[in-house]
């Protein structure tokens, strides 16, 4: 490789943000950090506990002191740092329901302290999408809500809280993934709103994030014809350069959503999507959720170099992208040095006290005036209905009400059903005992709704607990937690058991 191509290879490595497998840095990651790799991203597969993550990040910094260590930690249903037990903090929808920006800032600061203590310097959060479509299969409770001004003020608070702890925030998924019924992990969503609607709704939280000094913005793999009728946002110079940079004045790092997602890689190939994203104005390429190996990094590095040599990617654009990544790295070093001695909730054990208190504030109870009495009398039978797996959340992240309720009320039993495996009478085992029906996004799953209706027909005294978006309220007593985190499940269990009482209940 010539000296010129060697420099290009180092620049190419600087803009890649790969994942890897294992709880210690593989040898290939250590080598590539010496060759110019500027960032890595951690997933739940890299996390055991806080001590282990701290050792992992220290090992990375032994190779490159300013390496950016990113993580996708929304502190809600999407959690990596607490994936083993579920997040001990509420997610965005819960915080939006409380609508106390000071609380949102406190939760984000608490999370940021934990991440900073573990050596993480960039967090792919907050989710700044306005969830205006309740049937959205991938955003839902990850959004602060369905109203643009609310989402904007909580996005601002989250950015402020997280970055005050020395961790860079990353607002996502630009220009807005809320009004879609397609998951970009699987296909290309199309946002049909006109420009006036985009300005009023989708773009408002991102403008707020930029004004708040957010260090990074993550692109969404979205086709938005009002902005670019041809290319997805991640690959669109009109959207990344014209709108985000020039019109909105963002000067930080543009990070792509996972580049191997089918919305872009399925159409342009992995290397093709990487080169097009860089040419369009992206600065860092998130890769490695699936292709977490040295061969992929080599392939993408060489593809970027070849694109520059062949004239497909201007060298000055690659240089600019690497420079921005370097500036973010410098910000993280300075922020870590200047951060106050904050202590966040641990990634194991009891979790975040701040988070549990916030989750309790987000619980809402709706009663039709029937015979149901809270707290429940005696040990209950809990039936949990499990929706199809959401790849953004993770299949192994624990959730539910049965386990925390059993801790509070010994003798409580629980069962979980999926589509196609739900009995005709889901509550049959609850004869003589209180029945609790736990759902996630009941309005989106006809099989779940049918099962709940059958159970309520024979047990109208059953309590329904919704851990997703409470778009459909049913039952004599309905409890909405606005998320399925560990903290949310605990808050619901406390209410059911009498360990906590809602004001006015």
Residues assigned a catalytic role: 185, 257
**209 phi and psi angles, rounded to 5 deg:** -65, -45
From 503, 504, 497, select the one nearest 374 (Cα to Cα).
497
Query: 48 CB contacts (<8 Å, ≥6 apart)?
Result: 23, 84
Spatial separation of the C-alpha atoms in residues 376 and 501, rounded to whole Å: 12
Spatial separation of the C-alpha atoms in residues 90 and 489, rounded to whole Å: 10
Query: 272 CB contacts (<8 Å, ≥6 apart)?
Result: none
Token readout for 142 is 């990850």
For the CA atoms of 62, 66, 71, 73, the dihedral, rounded to the nearest 10 degrees, stands at 110
- What letter would DSSP give residue 243? I
β-bridge pairing 463-466 and 39-42: unpaired
Task: Count other Cβ atoms within 10 Å, centred on residue 30.
Answer: 16
CA angle 296, 319, 249 (to 5 degrees): 110
**Helix, coil or strand: residue 382:** strand
For residue 188, how many C-alpha atoms fall within 13 Å in the half-sphere facing its CB? 20
The residue ranges of DSSP E strands in 32-106, in sequence order, are: 39-42, 68-71
From 264, 308, 306, select the one nearest 285 (Cα to Cα).
264
What DSSP letter does each residue of 208-227 carry, written as one string?
HHHHTT-SEEEEP--B-TTT
């Amino acid at each position: 490789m010539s000296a010129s191509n060697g420099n290009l290879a180092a620049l190419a490595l600087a803009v890649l943000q790969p994942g890897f497998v294992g709880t210690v840095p593989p040898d290939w990651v250590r080598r590539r950090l010496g060759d110019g790799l500027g960032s890595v991203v951690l997933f739940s597969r890299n996390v055991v506990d806080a001590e282990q993550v701290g050792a992992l990040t220290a090992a990375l910094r032994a190779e490159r002191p300013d390496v950016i260590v990113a993580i996708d930690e929304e502190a809600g249903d999407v959690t990596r740092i607490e994936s083993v037990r579920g997040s001990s903090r509420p997610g965005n929808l819960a915080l939006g329901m409380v609508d106390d920006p000071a609380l949102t800032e406190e939760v984000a600061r608490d999370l940021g302290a934990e991440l900073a203590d573990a050596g993480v310097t960039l967090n792919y959060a907050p989710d700044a999408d306005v969830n205006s479509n309740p049937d959205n299969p991938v955003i839902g409770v990850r959004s602060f809500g369905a109203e643009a001004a609310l989402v904007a003020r909580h996005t601002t608070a989250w950015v402020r809280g997280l970055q005050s702890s020395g961790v860079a925030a990353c607002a996502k998924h630009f220009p807005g993934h809320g009004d879609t019924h397609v998951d970009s992990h699987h296909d290309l969503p199309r946002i049909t709103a006109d420009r006036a609607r985009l300005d009023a709704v989708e773009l408002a939280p991102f403008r707020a994030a930029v004004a708040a000094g957010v260090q990074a913005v993550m692109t969404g793999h979205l086709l938005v014809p009002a902005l670019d009728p041809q290319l997805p946002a991640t690959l669109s110079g009109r959207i990344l350069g014209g709108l985000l940079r020039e019109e909105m004045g963002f000067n930080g790092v543009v990070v792509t959503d996972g580049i191997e997602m089918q919305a872009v890689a399925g159409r342009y190939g992995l290397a093709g999507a990487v080169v097009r994203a860089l040419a369009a104005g992206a600065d860092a390429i998130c890769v490695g959720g699936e292709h977490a190996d040295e061969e992929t990094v080599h392939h993408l590095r060489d593809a970027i170099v070849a694109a520059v040599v062949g004239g497909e990617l201007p060298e000055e654009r690659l240089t600019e992208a690497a420079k921005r990544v370097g500036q973010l790295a410098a910000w993280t070093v300075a922020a870590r040095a200047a951060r106050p001695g904050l202590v966040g909730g641990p990634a194991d054990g009891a979790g975040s006290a701040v988070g549990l208190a916030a989750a309790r504030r987000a619980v809402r109870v709706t009663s039709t005036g029937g015979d149901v009495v809270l707290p429940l009398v005696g040990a209950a039978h809990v039936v949990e209905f499990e929706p199809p797996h959401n790849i953004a959340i993770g299949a192994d992240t624990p959730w539910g009400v049965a386990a925390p309720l059993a801790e509070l009320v010994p003798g409580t039993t629980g069962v979980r059903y999926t589509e196609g495996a739900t009995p005709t009478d889901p509550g049959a085992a609850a004869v003589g005992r209180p029945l609790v029906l736990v759902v996630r996004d009941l309005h989106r799953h006809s099989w779940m709704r049918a099962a709940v209706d059958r159970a309520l027909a024979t047990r109208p005294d059953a309590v329904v607990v919704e851990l997703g978006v409470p778009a459909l309220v049913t039952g004599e007593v309905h409890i909405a937690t606005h998320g399925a985190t560990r903290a949310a499940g605990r808050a619901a269990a406390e209410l059911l058991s009498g360990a906590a009482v809602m004001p006015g209940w």
